[in-house]
Structure formats: C-alpha cells, structure tokens
Amino acid sequence: MRPYHRLPRPDRVSLRWKIAALAAATACLVAAAVGVLVHLWTASDIRGRAQMRAFNGVYSAVDTYRRTGALADGAALDPAGLPGVLREPADDKRHTAYDGRTEDNVGPSVWGAQRVAGPGSPVLAVQVNMSPELHDLRRLDMSMAVASLVSLAAAVPLAAYGAGLLGRRLRRVSETAGRISAGDLDARTGPTKGGDEVAEIAATVDLMADSLGRRLRTERRFTADVAHELRTPVGGLLAATDLLPAGETEDLVRSRVRDLRGLVEDLLEISRLDAGAEHPVRAHVPLGAVVREAVARTGFEASVTVAGARDTAAARRAEAGGTAEPDGPGESAEPDGPGETVETDPRRLERIVGNLVVNAHRHGDAPVEVTVEGRTVVVRDHGPGFPPDLLLEGPRRFHTGAAERGSGHGLGLTIALGQARVLGAELRLDNAPDGGAVATLRLPPS
C-alpha cells in the first residue's frame, strides 16, 4: 500500500480562509452599499427639509412685511449673496435655490425668495443654513463606518469558525479518499452531520470504496483460485517430463514447464500478499551474508559490496605491507564479511534481493552491483533505467520488458514490493544520474 501524503500547506490556501475572505469582502460591500444609501438618503432629506423651511420662512416674512412693513428675523431685501436665479424671478411666486458656497462661516444653504409687491418690487429672501445638519450627517457617516468595522470584525471570526467546521468535514472526506487511492480499501468516512452536500460526498466516497473493495476481492479470489487449480496439473506436467527420452526436446519441455510452475507460484504468492495472509518470521541474521546468499541463488553474476567488510579487508592488506587497494576488479570485500546483524525474515529478504538482481539482469545491463551499508541494500544495473511510468505509478503485473508485451517489469518487482511491506521495509525505485536503474531497500530498525 502506497503511503498517502497530503499536500503541504504552503502549496495551497485553506478553504477556511477563502470563505473568511469572501465573508469579509461581502461584509465590506454590504457596509459600503448601506453607508452610501444612508448618506444619500439623509443628505436628500436634509436638503428637502431646508427647502421647506426656506419656503415657509419666505411666506411668513413676506406676510409680515406686507402687514407691518418690517423685516422678520433672517429676512433681507435684495441681499448681496442671493443666487442669480432668485435675483430676478419670472413671477411673483415663492422660489427656492440651493447655494453650495461656504463664506463667512456659513456652510451650504438653501435660499427662499419672493417679490414683495409685484413686478419691479424688491425681492425678499430668507437663507437657511444647513451646516448643523451636515455636521450631523458627517457624524452619522462616522458612526456607520465604525459600525461597519465592528460588524466586519465580528463577521470574519464567525465566518472563519463556520468555514473551519466545513473544512474539517471536507478534509476528513479528502483524507479518506487519499487512503483509498493509496490502497487502504477499508478506509471509510462514516456518517457525517449536517445532511448537506458534504454528507452526500462522504456517502458517495464510502459507496465507491465498498464497490471497489468488492471488485478487487473478486479479482483476487479469481487469481488465487486459478493459480491453485493450475498448481496440480503443472506439477503433473513436470513429473511427466521425467518420462520423456533425454534430448533437446526433453530439455525444452522441462524448461517451459518449470517457467509455468514459477509463474503459478508467483501468482499464489501475490494472492497471499494481496489478502494480507503473509506474516514474517523474524530472526537475527547478518545482513551481508544473507544478501550474498540471495545473489548466489539467482545464478547471475553480481558484485556484492559490504561496507564494513571492505574496510576490514583494506586494513588487513595494509597491515600485511601490501597495497590498500583490492588486487583485482573482482575483489570488493572479504568473502566472509557478514555485515550488520539485523532482525528480519531472512527468507523474505532473500526473495526481495533475488528478484531485484534477476530484474536487473533481465531488463538492465551488466555490471550489476549490490551494495550493503548498515541496514540498506542497493541493487544497481547499468541499463536504460526504470521507465517513467513505473517510477510514477509503480510496477504493473504481467507487463514485461518485451516489445510485443509493452513496457514493464513482470511480477518480480510487484512481489518485491509486497514482501518489503510485509517486513515493514521501504523499497524505493529510482534511476541513477549517470544511467541505470537503482533499487534501494531500507530495513526498519530492530
């Protein structure tokens, strides 16, 4: 099962903060819209009331002037600041006009004017100053701004908290889907609260996992059943080859039957690994010696270098007065160098190393080098290296390096990865910078 790694936080922006930013932007837009509307409505109301006061003030002042000949407070005849539109009215009716000038400590105002006695008579005018009301408007604007900031300060944490609840539910679904994609078919999100779209997504992911698990279990049972049923007739075929007369035909048939038996055994091994039926039998063994034995069993040539053994051989040659370098290219370490003692299953370890060495010879080029250092075993060849799709997706079953069967590495790497998981070890596949495939096996600490 491949490990599931969540995306690192610097590479993404949390949904929580996206929703909080959206809530903040919405609150700012609402506050700005409400503030503008309130400002415009209040300013219009102030101006309307000022016009009404100016209109009524002219009415009262003209009536007083006509009855008594005296000017009421705030009224004047043809004042110097009277707007031009009121200085020569077209009729004898009352009129008002807005004056935005600010002079003599008088802010924007509204003038009301009317001729006192028909055409040619003086114009009586009353000025209504709007400065107090406009000051109240500025105070209202300030209060609206403060209220908007307070509302924004309260809305953002609430939005972040609500988005955090939603984000945790989505993250739970995402982690479950990631575990399923990594091979954990027992991962489930389970029931989620809310009964909304997130709960629907979680239920759908669980249903997908159930369906996928049923299909994979069916395929694994089929593979195991086929391999088990083939085991008996293949064994019979191998026994029957002993009855053939010696010769080229007998050798060819025996070789093919042995290959077929090896394939059946590999299928059975894979089915057991998939079913989780394999369990290690651990023992304390010298890692270098086990690796040498595994390489020798393959029947292929490969140089084995054990880091501790190399140092010992060099030291002994130096003490003997000889050269500190190996005598020839075939000498890389003492033959009996055991290497570090580890607690592992030696049979499974031999299976992993043997498969890696066989794979290096079949799909790479010589020389094949096996290096043991500490608890790490590295198998390297000098061929074209692993294909990019294998490094990205891992080995695929029943794909060999033959051109007519596509690119791949058969069952050997699949079994090696499965056995490494049983041992709790890490098997990493990579390509060397100067060419060649590199398989690195790291055993867990004892």
Residue 151: what pLDDT? 84
Q: pLDDT value at position 407?
A: 45
The Cα–Cα gap between 404 and 87 comes to: 104
Looking at residue 327, its pLDDT comes to 41
Q: How far apart are CA 193 and CA 211, in angstroms?
A: 23
How far is it, in rounded angstroms, from Cα 93 to Cα 59?
10
- How far apart, in whole angstroms, are the C-alpha atoms of residue 393 and residue 275? 21
Distance of alpha carbon 251 from the chain centroid: 56
Cα–Cα distance measured from residue 353 to residue 363, given in angstroms and rounded to the nearest whole number? 15
Q: What is the pLDDT along the chain (446 residues), one digit of tens a residue?
A: 444 445 444 445 567 778 888 888 888 888 889 999 999 999 999 999 999 999 999 999 998 988 888 888 889 998 888 888 888 887 888 899 998 887 766 778 999 999 888 777 889 999 999 988 988 999 999 998 898 888 888 888 888 888 888 888 888 888 888 888 777 777 888 777 767 788 888 888 888 888 887 887 777 677 666 766 676 776 777 677 777 777 777 777 777 777 777 777 777 777 777 666 678 888 888 988 999 999 998 888 899 998 865 444 443 444 444 444 444 333 344 444 566 888 888 888 898 899 899 888 888 888 999 999 988 999 999 888 888 877 877 776 665 544 433 444 467 788 888 888 888 888 898 898 888 889 999 998 87
For residue 283, list its beta bridge partners. Answer: 344
Predicted model pTM: 0.50
**What sign results for the dihedral spanned by CA atoms 152, 158, 159, 161?**
positive
Phi and psi dihedrals of 88, rounded to 5? -125, 75
Three-state SS annotation for the chain: CCCCCCCCHHHCCCHHHHHHHHHHHHHHHHHHHHHHHHHHHHHHHHHHHHHHHHHHHHHHHHHHHHHHCCCCCCEEECCCCCCHHHHCCCCCCCEEEEECCCECCECCEEEEEEECCCCCCCEEEEEEECHHHHHHHHHHHHHHHHHHHHHHHHHHHHHHHHHHHHHHHHHHHHHHHHHHHCCCCCCCCCCCCCCCHHHHHHHHHHHHHHHHHHHHHHHHHHHHHHHHHHHHHHHHHHHHHHHCCCCHHHHHHHHHHHHHHHHHHHHHHHHHHHHCCCCCCCEEEEHHHHHHHHHHHHCCCCEEEEHHHHHHHHHHHHHCCCCCCCCCCCCCCCCCCCCCEEEECHHHHHHHHHHHHHHHHHHCCCCCEEEEECCEEEEECCCCCCCHHHHHHCCCCCCCCCHHHCCCCCCHHHHHHHHHHHHCCEEEEEECCCCCEEEEEECCCC
Residue 322 has a pLDDT of 47
Q: Are strands 369-373 and 303-306 parallel, antiparallel or unpaired?
A: parallel
Would you state the structure tokens that stand for residue 161, as one six-digit string?
Answer: 């908290």
Cβ atoms of 312 and 326 within 8 Å: the answer is: no
Q: What is the pLDDT of residue 124?
A: 92
| pLDDT at position 293 | 92
Tokens linked to 140 = 């209202």
In one letter, which amino acid is 413? L
Contact 205, 177 (CB under 8 A): yes
CB 257 within 8 A of CB 242: no
In degrees rounded to 5, what are phi and psi of residue 282?
-85, 150
| 84 Cβ contact list (under 8 Å, min separation 6) | none
